[in-house]
Amino acid sequence: MPIEIQLPRLGWSMEEGKFLDWLKKDGDFIQEGEPLFTLESDKAAQEIESIDAGILHIPSNGPKPGDLVQVGQVLGYLLSQGESAPGLSPQRAPADPQACGLDPSAEGKSQRVDVSQSTEATLPRATAGHPASPRARRAAKQHGVDLSTLSPSGQGGRIRECDVLAAADSTSSGGMKSVPLTPLRSSIAARLMHSRQTTVPVTINGRCDATELLALRRRLKSKSSSDQQSIGVIPTINDILVLLTATALRQHPMLAARWAGDHLLLPESIHIGIAVDTEAGLLVPVIRGVDTATLTQVATQSQRLIAEARAGKLAAVDMHGACFTLSNLGSLGVEAFTPVINPPESAILGIGAIVREAVPLDDGSFVARDRLTLSLTFDHRVNDGAAAARFLLTLRQLIEQPFQGLM
Amino acid sequence: MLTIRMVEERLAKSHQRGLIHGACHTYVGQEAIATGVCAHLHNADAIFSTHRGHGHALAKGMEPGQLMAELFGRETGCSRGRGGSMHLFAPEIGMMGTSGIVGPCILQAAGAGYSSLILKSGQVGVAFFGDGAANNGAFHEGLNMASIWKLPVLFVCENNQFATEVPFASVAGNSSVAARGAAYGLSSIEVDGNDVLAVEAAAGEAVTRARDGGGPTLIECTTYRTRAHAEGMGDFTYRTREDVEQWRARCPIARLKKHLLEHGLASDAQLDSIEQEVAALTEAAHEFAEKSAYPTAESATSHVYAVSANAPHRDAPSTSSATREITFMKATLEALTEEMARNPKIFVMGEGIGVRGGNFATTSGLFAVHGAARLRDTPICERGFVGLAGGAAMTGTRPVVDFMFADFVLDSVGEIVNQIAKMQYMSSGRLKMPVLLRGCIGIGHAAATHHSGSYYSMYAHFPGLRVVVPSSPRDAKGLLKTALTCDDPVLFLEHRELMSVKGPVPEEEYFIDFGKAAVVREGSDVTVVALALMVHKTLAACETLAAEGISVELIDPRTVAPLDVDTLLRSVAKTGRLLIVDEDFAHCGISAEIAAQLADRGFDDLDAPIRRLNGKPSPTPYSPTLEAAVVPNVEAIANAIRSLHAE
């Protein structure tokens, strides 16, 4: 019997995922455990391994790369030699054994069970909600309105064209076009709303001298280019700041604490999240064990994570476990901002642009220095303002004398 | 006679070989009759025949090759492959068709006689039919009408003694067909149908009488078919080999040969040479037919309707044209008056439409102008005069049948559906059928069930018919003008309750095309389609609904065949909602057709289910309380629109 390849549920709350692509071709023989396709759920792209063996049949009307697919929906089949594939109906109705012409043999029974299991996950969304008139369905398509979000005004609960047009008017008045949410955008929105609703954020800013920081970075760069043997990575300003932050957190561990209702949790080792801007949206991969890592180790980890994040291949495990996050908008010219805490963490550091400024000396003369602003948002439930300020002072001092901080 | 015989025998062989796809009824044994009668006819004389018509076609001058090709289903056949053995047409030689239905040819021949009367052409109509048809109502109605009006017609009964396989003697109270003619005041004669000279003499006398204005003649020719009813059928369940052999011995061809030789009118050698000549002709015809191509599948539905090469431009009058208020009935009378004055080929038949001017004054004043021939009061024989009208249309006149109430004409549905509607197609477009059938429909004034039906859905079902159901005096005049100038048969159905309704009618002459719906009232929320009286009732409902903020677009298709679906689609594209208000029954009616078309072609425009409001599926009751309960009224229409608007 053909084995159905279904979209797996990767987390208990996962309802749908974006099918990215097959990793095998139609007709390939698939061993159990071989990677079969890639799937984007929540935030991460993941390779999904085959749980059975067989010849892969990819139906022509199956999901296309980028399609949103319901958990449990059949993507394709694994066939044994000489077996033909069943047709794949885009929306499968509950199986009527007589209509299907199945005889009540053992084989027929087991097939019925398969079918009903697969439809269980796909049907509720297809039949849930209210019926819509053909005209309303056409209007919904034209205006990009999701029919499942509408309240019907027709007798007997039918969605009519006027319901669609009203919704289109309210969401897109003035010729706006509706863009469907990606799972990542939905996930970011949910997490940020959660943060806004469950923390007491306060942001403080502090300026510091970054002249020595830039000098260090120049030195690392020239050392790398002069050292022909070295094929190692060149740490970025951000990598240095990650490491210095870990040093400051060692001195002020409460800034890495988590709120746990009636107590606080302190991490045993310092994992730091770095906010990465990707085409799909914001991702926060986690650099592990920064408190015991060398600068090169931090740089190596961060470069890999950033590359995977931008390629949409970040594994779910790479986005968990941080106790603190760094968000750098300096490269885009932002000097100071109010970053939003990434729960369950309790603080986040925003890094502004490094700006060359005239700094007055005691003798009244001026000297040119590179300066940057740090914006620390902390959860006031966990830390008071002074404690946060003390952490920020430590960090500023470390940045002003980075060679010392890296010792 | 010999050509008929040899062609029939060749066809019998072809039937065995599978060259003939359908039935094949041969004329073997009866050749003397067609030959003796047709000897007196010109091309302009029109003959009408039966399912056993090969001999009539050949005797009237059809090429044997055309006959064979038709039976072989070829493009070169006399009906271009649309007819076969029982539907042979060659109007160019006066062969106006054979028919698979027993009886209509008698009425059609009377119609040809009527055309002759109107056109004063001197042409004669001839019906060939069997003893079976002599028991059919068409025989009695046709003979009676021909006798009353002294029509130039020959009724030639080929009494071969079996109606298919039923002996005539067993189904005839009076087994003399000729004797029946006397009952209707016809000259009648009985002759030996196997004696070509006797037939020829009787026919000669009858044709002369017809041409001289002496009226019709019934000739009963006693004969016998010596092959089976149809090729391939068993023959000896109802008669014996001995019977057949006895009649073979009386072969009309052998008898003529004997006569010619005995009187020294021809030599053996001459007769042999004729036989050889006919045999060669027959073989050549067979070869021609077998080599002919089949018609192309794309042409299967051509000739259902007439194609008017130079149809007049029928723009409705401009809205600025001056009008006056006249009744619906007066408007149609104007149309008929104008067209009768213009076209002398138009004549009207019906009960009380002569001096009386029609039950609904539909012909008021016309008798005084045009006289009895063009305003013909008929006996109460709807089948008879509708069938006669069909034959008249086939032979060059334009009959208008005024049947008062549409219910009455159901007696003639076979003539309308089987003959009039199909004639243009069967003749591959060579016959035109400009027959106008008009009468009242609709419930009202406690007319009860035999004076109140709406039958347009039934007629619209059949290909070949145009069905007009006007709702206003203006439309009624324009559409009747079109009906009186169109080459297709038209059912013009006038709602009785609209007859005295007044409305603006343009002063200038105008026509309204078939298949163009009228947007009676523009609106944006709900489209309502209504016909005839329902247009007026819906309009009244629209006023109430407008006050409630519901804007109704009301469309009157005006003709249900052809049906203007495009205008309905445009309206539904605007409103998204469709209600059909129809006095006729819902089941299989025009409302079902409109709903199906709109669901198919306008699916994505629909914002609600298509709704119908129809008359109740019941015969029309008499009592006013019962009568009102079976027809949609203004309140019911308004409620249906409200409900659909909220849907």
Indicate the average pLDDT of chain A: 83
Quick check: A133 contacting B, CB < 8 Å?
yes
Torsion angle in degrees (nearest 10) through CA of B247, B253, B259, B265: 180
> Quick check: is A98 in a domain?
no
**Per the structure block, which two tokens stand in for B577?**
């909602």
Average pLDDT over residues B152-169: 95
What is the pLDDT, as a whole number, of residue A175? 62
3-state DSSP assignment of residue A397:
helix
A156/B643 touch (CB, cutoff 8 Å), yes or no: no
The residues pairing with A49 across neighbouring beta strands, listed in sequence order, are A35
What is the pLDDT, as a whole number, of residue A109? 39
How many inter-chain contacts (A to B, CB under 8 Å) are there?
A: 33
Average pLDDT over residues B61-84: 96
What is the pLDDT, as a whole number, of residue B188? 97
Q: How far is the alpha carbon of A136 from chain B, nearest alpha carbon, in Å?
A: 6
Q: Nearest CA to A27 among A49, A5, A59, A4? A: A59
Do A66 and A160 reside in the same domain of the chain? no
What is the pLDDT, as a whole number, of residue B315? 58
> Quick check: is A127 in a domain?
no
Chain B CA closest to residue A164: B607
**Cβ atoms of residues A16 and A69 within 8 Å:** yes
Element (H, E) at A6: strand A3-6
Choose between B98 and A81: higher pLDDT. Answer: B98
**Per the structure block, which two tokens stand in for A283?**
């991702």
| Burial of residue A407, with CB atoms counted within 10 A of its CB: 0-12 exposed, 13-18 middle, 19 or more buried | exposed
Q: Is the pLDDT of residue A106 over 70?
A: no
> Quick check: is A114 in a domain?
no
Q: Tell whether the torsion through CA atoms of A142, A146, A147 and A149 is positive or negative.
A: negative
Do A217 and A305 reside in the same domain of the chain? yes
For helices B565-575 and B590-601, the axis angle rounded to 10 degrees is 60
CATH number of the domain bearing residue A272: 3.30.559.10
Chain B CA closest to residue A163: B607
Which of B603, B604, B647 is opposite residue A154, by nearest beta carbon? B647
What is the pLDDT, as a whole number, of residue B368? 97
CATH number of the domain bearing residue A14: 2.40.50.100
pLDDT band at A168 (very low <50, low <70, confident <90, very high): confident
Q: Is the pLDDT of residue A174 over 70?
A: no
Q: How far is the alpha carbon of B577 from chain A, nearest alpha carbon, in Å?
A: 10
Q: Which residues in chain B touch residue A166, judged by CB atoms under 8 angstroms apart?
A: none
Single-letter residue type at B621: P
> Quick check: is A121 in a domain?
no
Do A301 and A351 reside in the same domain of the chain? yes
Could you give the percent of chain B with pLDDT greater than 90?
Answer: 94
What is the pLDDT, as a whole number, of residue A229? 55
Candidates B525, B550, B575, B607: best to mutate against A (most CBs of A within 10 A) is B607
Average pLDDT over residues B487-509: 95
B576/A133 touch (CB, cutoff 8 Å), yes or no: yes
pLDDT band at A87 (very low <50, low <70, confident <90, very high): low
Quick check: A160 contacting B, CB < 8 Å?
yes
Number of domain units in chain A: 3
Q: Is B451 among the residues known to form the active site?
A: yes
Quick check: A138 contacting B, CB < 8 Å?
yes
B608/A138 touch (CB, cutoff 8 Å), yes or no: no
In this structure, of A77-91, B36-50, B362-376, B439-453, the range with the lowest mean pLDDT score is A77-91
Do A343 and A308 reside in the same domain of the chain? yes
C-alpha A4/C-alpha B301 separation (Å) is 50
pLDDT band at A182 (very low <50, low <70, confident <90, very high): confident
Average pLDDT over residues A140-160: 88
Q: How far is the alpha carbon of B581 from chain A, nearest alpha carbon, in Å?
A: 21
Helices (DSSP H) in B400-559: which residue ranges?
413-414, 423-426, 456-460, 473-483, 532-547
The residues pairing with A21 across neighbouring beta strands, listed in sequence order, are A38
What is the pLDDT, as a whole number, of residue A108? 38
> Quick check: is A196 in a domain?
yes
CA A333 to chain centre: 24
Phi, psi for A148 (deg, rounded to 5): -70, -10
Q: Nearest CA to A348 among A334, A335, A336, A338? A: A338
Average pLDDT over residues A129-156: 89
What is the pLDDT, as a whole number, of residue A31? 87
Element (H, E) at B611: strand B611-615
Do A156 and A293 reside in the same domain of the chain? no
What is the pLDDT, as a whole number, of residue B517? 96
C-alpha B408/C-alpha B207 separation (Å) is 35
What is the pLDDT, as a whole number, of residue A124? 30
> Quick check: is A128 in a domain?
no
Rg (CA), chain B: 28
Full residue range of the structural domain in which residue A7 is found: 3-90
Do A331 and A357 reside in the same domain of the chain? yes
Return the half-sphere exposure (C-beta side, CA atoms, 13 A cut-off) of residue B518. Answer: 23
What is the pLDDT, as a whole number, of residue B235? 82
Q: Nearest CA to B642 among B549, B555, B574? A: B549
Average pLDDT over residues A342-363: 93
Chain B CA closest to residue A157: B647
How big, in percent rounded to 5, are the helix, strand and coil portions of chain A?
A: 35, 20, 40
What is the pLDDT, as a whole number, of residue A68? 86
> Quick check: is A401 in a domain?
yes
E-strand stretches of B210-321: 217-222
C-alpha B36/C-alpha B195 separation (Å) is 9
Question: What are the tens digits of pLDDT across the range B174-190?
Answer: 999 999 999 999 999 99
C-alpha B197/C-alpha B199 separation (Å) is 5
Which of A137, A138, A154 is opposite residue B608, by nearest beta carbon? A154
What is the pLDDT, as a whole number, of residue B47? 98
Do A222 and A312 reside in the same domain of the chain? yes
What is the pLDDT, as a whole number, of residue A107? 41
Do A398 and A272 reside in the same domain of the chain? yes
A135/B604 touch (CB, cutoff 8 Å), yes or no: yes
Q: Which residues in chain B touch residue A161, judged by CB atoms under 8 angstroms apart?
A: 576, 607
Which of A134, A138, A155 is opposite residue B646, by nearest beta carbon? A155
CATH number corresponding to B2-226+238-292: 3.40.50.970
Do A150 and A56 reside in the same domain of the chain? no
pLDDT band at A121 (very low <50, low <70, confident <90, very high): very low
Do A293 and A383 reside in the same domain of the chain? yes
C-alpha B48/C-alpha B116 separation (Å) is 15
pLDDT band at A110 (very low <50, low <70, confident <90, very high): very low
Could you give the percent of chain B with pLDDT greater than 70?
Answer: 98
Q: Nearest CA to B555 among B545, B496, B544, B574? A: B574
Q: Is the pLDDT of residue A160 over 60?
A: yes
**Cβ atoms of residues A340 and A333 within 8 Å:** no
Please identify, among A74, A90, A106, the residue that sits at the C-terminal boundary of a domain.
A90
Q: Give the position of tokens 């039934």.
A: B458
Which class is domain B518-646? Answer: alpha beta
Do A247 and A367 reside in the same domain of the chain? yes
Domain boundaries, chain B: 2-226+238-292, 323-506, 518-646
CATH number corresponding to B323-506: 3.40.50.970
Q: Which residues in chain A touch residue B643, judged by CB atoms under 8 angstroms apart?
A: 155
Q: How far is the alpha carbon of B533 from chain A, nearest alpha carbon, in Å?
A: 30
Do A141 and A262 reside in the same domain of the chain? no
Peptide bond into A344 cis (omega under 30): yes
Q: What is the ipTM of this complex?
A: 0.71
What is the pLDDT, as a whole number, of residue A227? 64
What is the pLDDT, as a whole number, of residue A103? 39
Quick check: A130 contacting B, CB < 8 Å?
no
> Quick check: is A142 in a domain?
yes
Question: What are the tens digits of pLDDT across the range A226-285?
Answer: 765 555 788 999 999 999 999 999 999 999 999 888 899 999 999 999 999 988 888 999
pLDDT band at A117 (very low <50, low <70, confident <90, very high): very low
Q: Which residues in chain B touch residue A156, judged by CB atoms under 8 angstroms apart?
A: 647
Candidates A133, A138, A162: best to mutate against B (most CBs of B within 10 A) is A133
Which of B604, B605, B607 is opposite residue A160, by nearest beta carbon? B607
Q: Is the pLDDT of residue B51 over 70?
A: yes
Single-letter residue type at B560: V
Please identify, among A172, A199, A228, the residue that sits at the C-terminal boundary of a domain.
A172
